[in-house]
């Protein structure tokens, strides 16, 4: 049974918020304190559990470094990242749906020419992805920037591997005069989110698997438009219904068609057999603030 002292404590903490603070910050802190106290009361947190939580958050922070972002992973596996995504991209206007940034974005991927090979000799099944970038009004966006990143055929990102010789399986390229892009790579594969840290233990205790369905990451931007942070998922992947980070949306599940035609492969600069996928990205016009917020989300990722 909740007593008056408990209620008064919550009110006292909220009352200490200064009237002079930024109104948005004040609103967030007011709600955070109210919900956090409500949560502690609801589960009647024991002192041991409170200390376990402190140790868990400490370990989460200690696991982060220039290449590892355990807090983004925490947000992802609890579905918070996708909730923030949903709230910030409401309204069906025909623009490409967004999904999690994930913990493996890195600034400054190598620039390649449109049609170039982002796998650069990395072992895997040859894959060709192409399409157009346009605005919601249907105008092709020439010179739009695509930032791509993916795991290798064994499910590892370059930042998880030693001695990759720099940034691998990442690229930036620009659309041509018709807003079209083409890229050669290897077929992405399903992989587990990192389980060697606190998040692995939490997933295990919740009885959840750590797998993400195969996907290619895209960040697509063009002046005057909202940046789209999204994935293309490989249709048929066994984990599409149970993505560890809840990132799958139907519109982002794409056919990666297998072909054994040597002629077709040669025309695309690949070897048969190969896979190909086609996907058009549609960007909505942006206010300056919206465009900046998508970029600053990326800025929190390790770089």
Q: What is the DSSP string of the chain?
A: ---HHHHHHHHHHHHTS-TTS-HHHHHHHHHHHHHHHHHHHHHT--HHHHHHHHHHHHHHHHH--SS--HHHHHHHHTTHHHHHHHHHT-S-SSPPP-----TT--S-PPB--TT-BSSTT-SS-EEEEEEEEEETTS-B-TT-EEEEE---TTS--GGGSS---S--SEEEEE--TTSEEEEEEE----EEPP-SSHHHHHHHHTT---EE--EEEEEEE-TTBPPEEEEEEETT-TTTTS-TT----GGGEE--EEE--HHHHHHTT--SSEEEEE--EEE-B--HHHHHHHHHHHHTS--
The residue (of 147 and 180) whose beta carbon lies closer to Fe ion is 147
Q: How far is the CB of 215 from Fe ion (least distance, A)?
A: 6
Size of the site for Fe ion (CB under 5 A): 1
Instruction: Name the closest residue to Fe ion (Cβ).
Output: 102
Q: How far is the CB of 102 from Fe ion (least distance, A)?
A: 5
Tell me which residues in 67-106 interact with Fe ion (CB under 5 A). 102
Q: How far is the CB of 190 from Fe ion (least distance, A)?
A: 10
The residue (of 102 and 210) whose beta carbon lies closer to Fe ion is 102
Tell me which residues in 97-156 interact with Fe ion (CB under 5 A). 102
The residue (of 233 and 281) whose beta carbon lies closer to Fe ion is 233
The residue (of 248 and 286) whose beta carbon lies closer to Fe ion is 248
Q: How far is the CB of 80 from Fe ion (least distance, A)?
A: 17
Q: How far is the CB of 9 from Fe ion (least distance, A)?
A: 42
The residue (of 102 and 179) whose beta carbon lies closer to Fe ion is 102
Residues that bind Fe ion (CB under 5 A): 102
């Amino acid at each position: 049974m909740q007593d008056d002292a408990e209620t008064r404590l919550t009110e006292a903490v909220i009352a200490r918020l200064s009237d002079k603070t930024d109104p948005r910050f004040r609103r967030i802190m007011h709600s955070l304190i109210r919900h956090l106290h409500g949560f502690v009361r609801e589960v009647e947190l024991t002192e041991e559990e409170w200390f376990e939580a402190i140790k868990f958050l400490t370990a989460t922070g200690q696991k982060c470094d220039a290449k590892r972002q355990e807090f983004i992973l925490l947000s992802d596996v609890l579905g918070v990242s996708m909730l923030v995504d949903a709230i910030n991209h409401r309204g069906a206007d025909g623009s490409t749906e967004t999904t999690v940034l994930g913990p493996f974005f890195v600034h400054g991927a190598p620039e390649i020419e449109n049609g170039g090979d982002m796998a650069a000799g990395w072992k895997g099944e040859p894959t060709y992805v192409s399409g157009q970038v346009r605005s919601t009004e249907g105008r092709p966006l020439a010179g739009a920037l695509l930032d791509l990143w993916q795991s290798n055929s064994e499910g590892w990102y370059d930042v998880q591997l030693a001695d990759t010789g720099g940034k691998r399986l990442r690229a930036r390229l620009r659309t041509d005069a018709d807003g079209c892009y083409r890229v050669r790579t290897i077929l992405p594969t399903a992989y587990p989110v990192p389980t060697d840290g606190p998040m692995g233990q939490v997933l295990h205790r919740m009885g959840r698997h750590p797998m993400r369905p195969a996907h290619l990451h895209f960040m697509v931007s063009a002046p005057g438009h909202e940046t789209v942070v999204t994935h293309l998922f490989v249709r048929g992947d066994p984990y599409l219904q149970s993505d560890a980070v809840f990132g799958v949306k139907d519109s982002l599940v794409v056919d990666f068609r297998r072909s054994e035609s040597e002629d077709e492969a040669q025309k695309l600069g690949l070897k048969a057999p190969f896979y190909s996928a086609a996907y058009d990205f549609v960007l909505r016009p942006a206010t300056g603030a919206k465009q900046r917020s998508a970029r600053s989300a990326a800025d929190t990722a390790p770089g």
